[in-house]
Amino acid sequence: MKGVLLLGMCLGGVGYCQTATPLPLISVNSQHSISQRFSDQELRAFAALAPVDTHTHAYQNAPALFAMLKRLNLHIVDITLIDDQEKNPEWMDLAKERRDTWGVVSGSKGSAFFCTTFDPFRVNDPNFSRDAISEINKDFDRGAVALKIWKNIGEEVKGVNGQYLLPDDPIFAPIYRDIAEHGKTLIAHVADPTTVFEAPNPAAPDYSSYMKNPGLYMYRKHDAPSKADILRARDHVMEQNPTLRVIGAHLGSMEADFGELGEHFDRYPNLAVDLAARMDYLVIQPKDFLLPFITKYQDRLIYGTDLEFFQGDDEHERVERWESAYALDWRFLATTGWLVYRGHIVQGLGLPTPILRKLYHDNAVKWLPGIEQRN
């Protein structure tokens, strides 16, 4: 069947999320529906898995969002973070962000789960760890399933002596212990894509997005830790806390080296990764490499998107965008049809249902206990 596809979606990667930039109309051959939203048949197959998107940032108590989650039989993990670069009011004030995120979680009536955080820019406060843990534990008591640390640890946050703090700095150790003691999960988005640490490379899938924010272009920060330093410190946290489950956001920031990612899975049994905002890197892998890789590590890969829903966003436009993103990812992972994924014409992987069930559901509930067991 000859079809026409108009695409435009968020690249993801918090702080770099583009507004939808429509690609040119591209004709592709496909045996599947070309609509951006789910067809009825696709929706049935997707919803049957009781899918979980383990990586979202939703801060608007939007009935249209909740209705979509119910219609798709979808659960989300709603992640908080502090970002002083983006100048987004939601990410500048943790008290407000907590309120808004809990508002989404309760408004969703069971569809959304809370992921807490702490403000790393308070790290030089005298009682930093104690105060952070006190707030974190209130969230855990209310049902938060995880805590996220963000890439500003390693790339921005500095200690009293002006040195960059790495994820394994002893100041954070009591927090990691607290997460493990509560049986919760650490979601670690540390380090950026390799693109950000290397000389400008227009061929990189995320080049244009990351280059928009020169403040976080690590290649130009000569006194900052390298990506390898930051990931080594993250790995050190896993070694020091063997009972702590860690989900490395965005393929664990190893999107440019699947060999390294596989070695990490082999070395760290407490590590899984989410696919959020790195599908661009999956779709450019040769299928005869990617299928065996996913098959081998089917218990360590967890679906996520990095979709955003801010206060003030048009809820119907946002919901349309979210559903289109889910449908596009689904077509790539679950079908063998041809599709255009952010400019790449690719054939879907056609993963078997047992693996899809792990990526979309089983691994989420296993690595993030507290997400309601369903199916």
Q: Which residues bind Zn ion (CB under 5 A)?
A: 14, 306
Instruction: For the CB of residue 287, give the shortest distance to Zn ion in the complex, in Å.
Output: 27
Q: Give the nearest residue (CB) to Zn ion.
A: 14
Q: Which are the contacts of 204, defined by CB distance < 8 A and separation ≥ 6?
A: 193, 194, 195, 210
Q: Which are the contacts of 273, defined by CB distance < 8 A and separation ≥ 6?
A: 247, 248, 249, 250, 251, 252, 254, 261, 300, 301, 302
Q: Which is nearer to Zn ion, 234 or 357 (CB)?
A: 234
Q: Which is nearer to Zn ion, 83 or 323 (CB)?
A: 83
Q: Which is nearer to Zn ion, 14 or 231 (CB)?
A: 14
CB 247 within 8 A of CB 54: yes
Radius of gyration of the chain (CA): 20
Three-state SS at 164: strand
159 phi and psi angles, rounded to 5 deg:
-80, -175
Instruction: For the CB of residue 56, give the shortest distance to Zn ion in the complex, in Å.
Output: 8
CB 272 within 8 A of CB 301: yes
Q: Which is nearer to Zn ion, 216 or 355 (CB)?
A: 216
Instruction: For the CB of residue 323, give the shortest distance to Zn ion in the complex, in Å.
Output: 19
Instruction: For the CB of residue 137, give the shortest distance to Zn ion in the complex, in Å.
Output: 23
Q: Which is nearer to Zn ion, 42 or 306 (CB)?
A: 306
Other beta carbons less than 10 A from residue 221's beta carbon: 15
Instruction: For the CB of residue 168, give the shortest distance to Zn ion in the complex, in Å.
Output: 22
Angle at 251 between CA 279 and CA 135, to 5 degrees: 115
For residue 294, give the H/E element and its range.
helix 287-296
Q: Which is nearer to Zn ion, 43 or 187 (CB)?
A: 187
Would strands 185-188 and 146-149 be described as parallel, antiparallel, or unpaired? parallel
DSSP string, 297-312: TTTTEE----EEE-TT
Other beta carbons less than 10 A from residue 212's beta carbon: 12
Other beta carbons less than 10 A from residue 270's beta carbon: 18
Q: Which is nearer to Zn ion, 233 or 275 (CB)?
A: 275
| CA distances, 199 to each of 34, 195, 205 (Å) | 37, 8, 14
Q: Which is nearer to Zn ion, 328 or 346 (CB)?
A: 328
